[in-house]
A and B are shown apart, each in its own frame.
Chain A
Amino acid sequence: MLEHILRWKVPLIILLVVIMVGTIHYTSSSRLTIGLLEGIGRDILVPFQWAFTRVQRFILQTVENIHTLSTLKERNAELEKQVKELRAEVLELRNYRRENEWLREALDFKNEREHDLLVAEVIGRSPSNWESTIILNKGFAHGVQQGMAVVTSEGVVGSVISCSRYSSTVLLIVDAQSATGGLVQATGDLVLVEGGQADRETLAARPLSRDTVVEVGDVIVTSGVSTVYPKNIPIGEVIAVEPRQYNLSFTAVVRPFVDFNRLEYVLIVLPQGNGEN
């Protein structure tokens, strides 16, 4: 019996290796759908991840509250001052809004919104140190599909790379596999914003034309050229411009507006009429 098994051992190992290499190759590029086993596995993890995230958040919040208790009085005074300033700003903005509405009416401007937004909670992150992904508690049961953009009020977060019924995985823009079409807000020049920087906290913006001008302090927004991200969503601010070999081109180092370590809730951009607001 043992000899019989041993005789089949080597061909079995070879077959297993071939299957594994094939699976790695098949899953190395983006896929429209995920496998049944993958989907079930991820959906089983969702309640556990949700519960652990909540517990962790509660503990961190409590520790932070205790820490900030001593500076509460100063903070309160500062916030009261801010409230006064913001009230004045709100009044001013209301006037602008009214003026905007009159002008729009006068110009017969159509107030069309191209996208719906779906709020999702971050319930997990990539288990590996080498992937920059987050797991959201919304899946295709909520209308989420592969390729949808994920943003926050601060800016671009990433795009959905796969989703199961009740969860979805988002590839962050700082990941090595991420590339986003960007635009220098000041000049309108197109750049390609790539992740995979060594510090995993910044992005690299590469110019798409020879005449592109980028300076420190410039804001990079989405270009809207690709079908993934809507136009004019902030990506980050240029903090350094490094010349490349022989000074023929350059790479701009961009610090994203979004703090990826503190993400709790995000917005998934759905095509209009596809989701809850």
Chain B
Amino acid sequence: MRFVVCGLLLLLALVLETAGVPGIAFGGVKPELMLMLTLLAAMIMPLGEAVGVGFAAGLAQDLVVGRFITLHAGVFVLVALAVGLVVQRFYRENFLVRLCCLLFGTALGEVMYLLGAASFGLSRPWTVNLWSRIAVVSIVNAVLGTLLYRPLARLYRRLLDHDELVKRTG
């Protein structure tokens, strides 16, 4: 059940990102919802499941973009791994830990994507403008992600209980 809900959440995020969110972009920069969901999954779910969510989210985004297919998937997997390992060492319920994970996780994901694209021929000048875009995306993702963390964590716990119940009762 939790995987079905996860898939639906990813679909909703993808549709919002392509069709809904452009209307509420902040200074021309819109939140990276798929990356944000990956980071939240890395903080809420076990590492293996979070990596799976990251791969699915990245691949879905790649298929829509149609360029550098599997680059997003690879980047999201690495980001999920990094954040998953970090939250294992720190107290994840701490507000600052969550905020920092979302902030630096988004920045790391964006930089890795740009470096990956550059190594396959699409280099961009690393100007102040580019860095400020990365900073804005990271801040937007951190704020939105922090707000969404508790409801999503609660939802995941309920789904986990439901799956356990189904498993035991057959």
Contacts and interface: CB of A to CB of B under 8 A. Distances in A.
A79 B15 CA distance: 38
A135 to B, nearest CB: 6
B61 A128 contact: yes
A127 B17 contact: yes
Contacts of A45: 14-15, 18, 64
B66 A24 contact: no
A42 B69 CA distance: 14
Interface in B121-141: 121-122, 124-125, 127, 129-130, 133, 137
B17 A34 contact: no
A176 interface: yes
Contact of B18 (A19, A26, A49): A49
A169 interface: yes
Nearest to B67: A27
Interface in A195-218: 196, 198-201
Contacts of A34: 66
Size category of the binding interface on chain A: 35 or more
Contacts of B33: 127
Contacts of B133: 129
A161 B113 CA distance: 21
Contacts of A135: 18, 64
Contacts of A133: 65-66
Given A49-B18, A60-B23, A130-B114, A176 B66 contact: no
B77 to A, nearest CB: 9
Given A126-B18, A198-B130, A24 B61 contact: no
Nearest to B71: A24
The B interface, classified by DSSP as helix, strand, loop or mixed, is helix
Contacts of A272: none
Contacts of A55: 20
B14, B70, B72, B137 interface centre (most CB from chain A within 10 Å): B70
A48 B10 CA distance: 13
Contact of B137 (A24, A25, A27, A129): A129
A131 interface: yes
A55 to B, nearest CB: 8
Given A24-B70, A24-B120, A45-B15, A128 B22 contact: no
Contacts of A129: 29-30, 32, 110, 133, 137
A186 to B, nearest CB: 30
Contacts of A41: 60, 63-64
B32 A128 contact: yes
Interface of B: 11, 14-20, 22-23, 28-30, 32-34, 60-61, 63-74, 110, 113-114, 116-117, 120-122, 124-125, 127, 129-130, 133, 137
B122 A28 contact: yes
A89 interface: no
A24 B69 contact: yes
Nearest to B117: A130
Nearest to A126: B65
Contact of B64 (A23, A24, A42, A177): A42
Interface in A13-59: 17, 19-20, 23-29, 34, 37-38, 41-42, 45, 48-50, 52-53, 55-56
A52 B70 contact: no
Contacts of B32: 128-129
B18 A124 contact: yes
Nearest to B24: A56
8 contacts: A20-B70, A23-B69, A27-B66, A28-B68, A38-B63, A49-B19, A128-B32, A161-B67
Interface string A120-141: 0001111111110101000000
Contacts of B60: 41
Contact of B67 (A20, A131, A201): A131
Contacts of B19: 48-50, 52-53, 56, 123-125
Interface in A96-134: 123-131, 133
Nearest to B137: A129
A128 B87 CA distance: 26
